[in-house]
Structures are given as C-alpha cells and as structure tokens.
C-alpha cells in the first residue's frame, strides 16, 4: 500500500521567507502526487498535482513542487510566503488502482506578518 | 457552481447516541468519498461510492458506521451508537467519472462526549 510522510508538523515563518515542505512517498509503481491546502475555516482544496511529464509542477498562488523519483520526494516550495498562506498543507497519493487518497499527517504553516 | 456541502458543520453528541452526517456532492459527480481525521492523526479514507454503489468500504472502522447513497446523489454517514473514539472531522469529497481531482467539503466536526 502507498504511504506518505510529511517531515514537518508545524512551520513558522516570517513574511517574505522562502518555504519548503517535505513529502516522501512509498514506491508503488505509477506515481501520482497531490498537495492539498486547508485555510482556516475552509475546505481542502487542491494546490497542485503531478501525473507525468515535467517533474516541476506549478500550482495556484505561486506554489510549486518538484517530483524527484530517485528520492521518492515531492516537496512543496514557495519563494516568498505571505500571511495569507497560513494554513495546513497535505501531501497525498492515490492508492494503487483506486481513487482513494492516502494523506500525510499534514504540516501547519504559520506566517508572521 | 455549488461545491461539496456537508451538514452539519459541527455536532456534539453523547456516547451511545446516533448521529447522521450528510454530504451533497457536486452535481454530476459519480464518485463520492468519505474521509475522517481523528485529532492529531492523518486524514484517512473510509469509503468510496460510484453512483449509488459502494465501490470500496475498506476504510470503515466497524459496523457502527453505515453509509448510504440512495439514488446516487447525496450521501449519509450514520454512526450508531457513537463512541468517544469516533470524535474527529469527517470529510466528504466528490469527483467526476475518470476525473483526477477530488473536491472536498468543509467537513463535519463530530465531538462525542
């Protein structure tokens, strides 16, 4: 079964700092990868996804992630965070042959103005 | 277009009582999923409907949980009788047939006291 690990439980940054959130997955054949975000009081929404092709994926709100197959990683990055990026971020992979998602434990990001 | 909506947003019940959670998926989405996040843990898959049929219910914790999707539209998740460990946030998501993105609702926070 697929599994996902997120290294950081809580990250605190000042505005304009650069962000990198780690995500590692277990090998399971064809790899599809997602990052979701949950802003305070809102629903989970998709930030970006990787299915194939260019391993550097651009998402919404200036986020990007890089799929590195040799490291089983899909780290999320943003060069300069804003206070509005304060949220919880989840890395996820679909199960083999199914639509269900396996999530990491999530990383809370707090951005200090 | 309306997103995935869940009712209620919060529910506090006593141990032993029954609670029914409701999810209205995005219109036309055949796939409907239930997930749960127990405090401090990752979001975990409960089950998957394709239209009115249960495609995968491998994540359902035990037989106190019953999910239905009569007519292939909205879905309900009933917990009877509720136990303390059932507390958490229950998420519903939906996707199109063959779609690669699941759209999530805001979740129902269930507290069993």
pLDDT at B40: 82
Do the Cβ atoms of A99 and B95 come within 8 Å? yes
Nearest chain A Cα to B46, which residue? Answer: A100
Nearest chain A Cα to B48, which residue? Answer: A100
For residue A71, give the 3-state DSSP assignment.
helix
Do the Cβ atoms of A100 and B45 come within 8 Å? yes
Could you read off the pLDDT of B13-37 as tens digits, one per residue? Answer: 999 999 999 999 999 999 999 999 9
- Nearest Cα residue to B89 out of B6, B3, B4: B6
CA–CA distances in Å: residue B85 to residues A60, A94, B76, B81:
36, 26, 20, 12
Summary mean pLDDT of chain B: 94
The half-sphere exposure of B104 on its side-chain side, counting CA atoms within 13 A, is 25
pLDDT at A57: 96
pLDDT at B97: 84
Reply yes or no on whether the pLDDT at B88 is more than 90. yes
Do the Cβ atoms of B106 and A42 come within 8 Å? yes
For residue A73, give the 3-state DSSP assignment.
strand
Beta bridge pairs of residue B74: none
| Least Cα separation, residue A17 to chain B (angstroms) | 27
| Least Cα separation, residue B18 to chain A (angstroms) | 25
Given the structure tokens 């998420």, which residue do they identify? B91
Which residues are CB-contacts of B5 (< 8 A; sequence separation ≥ 6)?
A: B23, B24, B105, B106
The half-sphere exposure of B9 on its side-chain side, counting CA atoms within 13 A, is 4
Over chain A (113 residues), the average pLDDT of each successive run of 10 is 88 97 84 92 92 92 94 96 97 78 95 95
Under 8 Å CB pairs connecting chains A and B tally to: 48
| Cα–Cα dist A57/B3, whole Å | 25
Could you read off the pLDDT of B33-85 as tens digits, one per residue? Answer: 999 999 889 999 999 999 999 999 999 999 999 999 988 899 999 999 999 99
Nearest-by-Cβ selection for A44 from B48, B56, B104: B104
| Cα–Cα dist A49/B73, whole Å | 27
| Cα–Cα dist B42/A5, whole Å | 10
pLDDT at A26: 87
B interface mutation test: which of A31, A87, A99, A102 has the most B CBs within 10 A? A99
Residues in B lying within 8 Å of A, measured between beta carbons = 3-4, 31, 33, 35, 41-45, 48, 56, 59, 91, 93, 95, 100-102, 104-107
For residue B85, give the 3-state DSSP assignment.
helix
B36, two tokens: 């749960």
Reply yes or no on whether the pLDDT at B109 is more than 80. yes
Nearest-by-Cβ selection for B106 from A32, A43, A105: A43
pLDDT at A20: 97
Tell me how many helices (H) and strands (E) chain B has: 0, 11
| Cα–Cα dist A39/A109, whole Å | 10
pLDDT at A28: 66
């Amino acid at each position: 079964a697929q599994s996902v690990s997120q290294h950081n439980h809580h990250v605190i940054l000042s505005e304009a700092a650069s962000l990198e959130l780690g995500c590692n997955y277990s090998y399971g054949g064809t790899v599809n990868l997602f990052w979701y975000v949950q802003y305070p009081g809102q629903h989970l929404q998709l930030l970006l996804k990787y299915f194939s092709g260019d391993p550097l994926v651009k998402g919404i709100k200036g986020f990007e992630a890089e799929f590195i197959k040799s490291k089983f990683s899909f780290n999320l990055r943003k060069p300069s965070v804003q206070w509005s990026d304060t949220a919880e971020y989840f890395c996820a992979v679909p199960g083999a042959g199914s639509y269900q998602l396996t999530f990491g434990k999530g990383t809370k990001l707090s951005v200090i103005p | 277009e309306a997103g995935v909506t869940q009712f209620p947003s919060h529910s506090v019940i006593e141990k032993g009582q029954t609670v029914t959670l409701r999810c209205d998926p995005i219109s036309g989405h055949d796939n409907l999923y239930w997930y749960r996040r127990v405090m401090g843990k990752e979001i975990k898959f409960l089950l998957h409907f394709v239209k009115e049929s249960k495609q995968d219910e491998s994540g359902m914790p035990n037989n106190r949980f019953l999910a239905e999707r009569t007519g292939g539209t909205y879905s309900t998740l009933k917990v009877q009788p509720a136990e303390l460990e059932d507390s958490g946030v229950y998420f519903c998501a939906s996707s199109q047939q063959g779609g690669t993105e699941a759209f999530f609702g805001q979740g129902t926070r269930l507290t069993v006291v």
